Amino acid sequence: MGGQRAQVIDERDSQTEARRKVPDGPPPELVFKRRLRPAQVARELWGARELVRALAERDLRARYKQAVLGFAWAVLTPLALCAIFTLVFHRAVKIETGGAPYTLFAYVGLIVWQFFSNTMNQGALSLANNLSLLNKVYCPREVFPLATMLVASVDMLIGIGVLGLLFLVFWTAPAATFLWALPLLLIQFAFTYGVALIMSVAVVYLRDVRHLLPIITQMGVFATPVAYPLAKIPVRLQEIYVGINPLGAVIEGYRRALLYGDTPDLGLTLIAAVSSLVFLVGGYLFFKKLETGIADVA
């Protein structure tokens, strides 16, 4: 009897000891990586800034090295689209611009859309095109879509320079409210980077996305108020629309601040800001959730 009791006590002690050895969860460093800590994310991206710059320089050289006109394509592409929009939407459809020259009106929207479109088309392929590099060198993998956004930013800066020339051509000047462009720029960057993170990892897992994305971006230019004002969308649907596509409020805000001397619609801008933050945070979490399997599916 005494021997059986001692055996039960020994089994109970061994089970207790086993429970002590089994961890309650993953190591703290793994748990840390799964949580969203903006300060830590910012420090990692800042630490990889030289890599981001090197990737952006490589992509810029690869894009324009064999082109006869080089960086001029960054100007000619939006200008060609602007000329088409002027002929189709302004001459044929008679789009109302509130007194602003239609070329300026359309070009402001095209700069924003070209930035988004270039980041999407290149950012979606950024992981797939650099699989050999990211499997050899440790770095935050989100730097690859970030580098493509930096390349698109260079094109956008060139486009802004052309916009300054268009202001001179039409003998007008940006309104004094142009400083509203700064918060709008943050919203634009947050939304674009969030979507780029989602698309970049989606292409790795589902290669059909790379063929589908150019079609979506080409259709998106007509689904976004680039060639027409946001007022063309029914008022009762504008808040929903901006929540889905924050670029609508961003483009309209740029026009009001630069062309009309007015402040952006604060209600729509706030919705766009919240929506962009959701896309950014959601895109980052989606990216981190799937990045561990990139090497397996590559």
Count of C-beta atoms within a 10 Å radius of residue 67 = 10
Check whether 22 has a pLDDT greater than 60.
no
8 Å CB contact between 155 and 115? yes
Q: Tokens 């689904």 — which residue?
A: 223
Count other C-beta atoms under 10 Å from residue 239's C-beta.
13
Cα 36 to chain centroid distance, Å, stands at: 18
Gap between the Cα atoms of 22 and 227, Å rounded: 62
CA distance 37 to 45: 12
- The per-residue pLDDT for range 129-186, each reduced to its tens digit, is 887 777 777 778 889 999 999 999 998 998 898 899 889 988 888 888 888 999 999 9
Residue type (1 letter), 32: F
Phi/psi zone of residue 99: left (φ > 0), alpha (ψ -120 to 50 degrees), beta? left
Q: At what angle do helices 181-205 and 143-169 cross, to 10 degrees?
A: 140
Confidence of residue 12 (pLDDT cuts 50, 70, 90): low
- CA gap 146, 56 in Å, rounded: 9
pLDDT digits over 230-263, tens only? Answer: 999 999 999 999 999 999 999 999 999 999 989 9
pTM value surpassing 0.85: no
Residue 188 has pLDDT above 90, yes or no: yes
Confidence check: pLDDT of 126 > 50: yes
Cβ burial of 153 (10 Å; 0-12, 13-18, 19+) is: middle
pLDDT of 105: 92
Place of tokens 């729509």: 268
How confident is residue 68, by pLDDT bands cut at 50, 70 and 90? low
Give the per-residue pLDDT at 210: 82
Q: Under a CB-based contact definition with an 8 Å cutoff, are residues 156 and 115 in contact?
A: yes
What whole-number distance in Å separates Cα of residue 95 and Cα of residue 161? Answer: 25
Q: Is the pLDDT of residue 121 over 50?
A: yes
Q: For residue range 99-109, what is the model confidence (pLDDT) as tens digits?
A: 888 889 999 99
Residue ranges per structural domain of the chain? 48-295
pLDDT in tens, 196-228: 999 999 988 888 888 888 888 888 888 999 989
Phi, psi of 264 (to 5 degrees): -60, 155
pLDDT at 217: 85
Q: Map tokens 């709008």 to a residue.
A: 184
- What is the rounded distance in angstroms from the CA atom of residue 224 to the CA atom of residue 242? 10
Condensed to tens digits (0 to 9), the pLDDT of residues 265-294 reads 999 999 999 999 999 999 999 998 888 777
Query: Mean pLDDT across the chain, nearest whole number?
Result: 83
Inform me whether the pLDDT recorded for 31 exceeds 60: no
Please state, for a pLDDT cut of 70, what percent of the chain lies above it.
84
Q: Give the Å distances, CA to CA, from 114 to 29, 33, 78, 189, 242.
A: 40, 34, 7, 13, 19
**CB-based contacts of 40: which residues, under 8 Å, 6+ apart?**
32
